[in-house]
Amino acid sequence: MESAVALAQRFGTPLVIYDLEKLDASIAQITAAAKRYDVTASYAGKAFLCVAFARYLHERGIGIDVSSLGEFETVRRADIPAESLTLHGCMKSDAEISLVIDGFVGRSVVDGCEELARTIERSSRQQPAPILLRLNTGIAASTHAAIRTAGDASKFGITPNAEREALALLRAAEGRVRFLGLHAHLGSQIDEPTAFIAHALALIDAAARFTAEGFPVEHIILGGGFVGDPEPILAACIPAMRERAALRSIPFPAIGIEPGRAIVAAAGMTVLRIGAIKRTSLRRIAICDGGLYENPRPALYGVTHPLRLLSRADEATEPTLLCGRSCESDELGTYDLPLSLTAGDAIALLDTGAYTVSMASTYNRFARPAVVAVRGNDAALWMRAESLDETVARDVRP
């Protein structure tokens, strides 16, 4: 592989690099687990999405979840067929709801009764909109509150006390929507089988309730949130779900999962350059050319990415606070860095493939970084760095 330093010289820093061999390994791991347990896998596009990557996933048989018109436009330009797309979102606009009504996406995951009513109102018996209902199973998994998407404090999904209203709306729809099944999602970076099992069994119990009301559940989507290989979670959940479905006397639904971070996180790294070094009475501080604007995860929920020094050999080190260049404290973590660290040295933050590029902003009007995909000695530019003209392109002169 062309060195990260050489790539940084070609494309500038910050630079996000995806290792396609690592990406292939994670895709193979997930598709193998899905095949073993007879489940389908659809990628959570919010983790990272661009036209080239959408096409890359489609070529490997992975569906894609989109949650906005922007994400949909990305997959449209990648020529992803509607049947491979699932529409998400907890407050869909009329234009987003139109995507499922007009057949541009294969199905919509309806997040609440108000959205269900709007979808029904705009659909027709001649072309009923295919939908799943997103439920809040009430299970609050052990993860950071910012990335927990179920439980009594969550904004997502239809709560148990709203199920009767949802069922009433489905009856009143008189065939204007095609009810496919149920969906629920616990959150991100969940490494506890007990929460997943409770979540999965709650969905089977809900399927039994909907079936008893005349709405059989053909599909259940468990969501994502896997730290890595989903096989241990599926090994725990699928047999328990089959047993519960038999106990409830309902046919076992088709099961789906929606990995995002598990596919892309480990494949990505961000190359940065040290720009300034300062000493206070308490510590040494190194300031790099990245930070909050290109990776808000450390600020949002305390993530510390592993660091690799690229510019110099191992030598004596000292604990150093790494900060970004944004006009915030912008702390990225404390690392053991060489005593001789100097401006211009290159570093890499690892495991930045998920929720970095997709969450990047133009805070301080810094340009968002380029994205390069690498296999062996071949490097392909997936997203070019934002230009200054693009940064100010939306401004209207007085």
Would you say how long the chain is, in residues? 398
Distance CA 259, CA 30 (A): 8
Go through 8-23 and write b for each residue having 16 or more CB atoms within 10 A of its CB, e for each that does not: beebbbbbbbbbbebb
Least Cα distance to 135 among 153, 116, 110 occurs for 110
3-state SS assignment for residue 226 = strand
Q: How far apart, in Å, are the Cα atoms of 361 and each of 40, 371, 391?
A: 33, 15, 10
Catalytic residue among 90, 113, 323, 327: 327
Identify each DSSP E strand in the chain by its residue range.
15-19, 39-44, 63-66, 85-87, 107-110, 129-134, 177-183, 219-221, 254-257, 268-279, 284-288, 307-309, 317-323, 331-338, 346-350, 370-375, 378-383
Distance CA 73, CA 6 (A): 33
Say if CB 132 and CB 182 are below 8 A apart. yes
Go through 349-358 and write b for each residue having 16 or more CB atoms within 10 A of its CB, e for each that does not: bebbbbbbbe
Cα radius of gyration rounded to whole Å, the chain: 23
Q: Is 90 considered catalytic here? A: no
Q: How many CB atoms lie within 10 A of CB 28?
A: 11
Catalytic site positions: 327
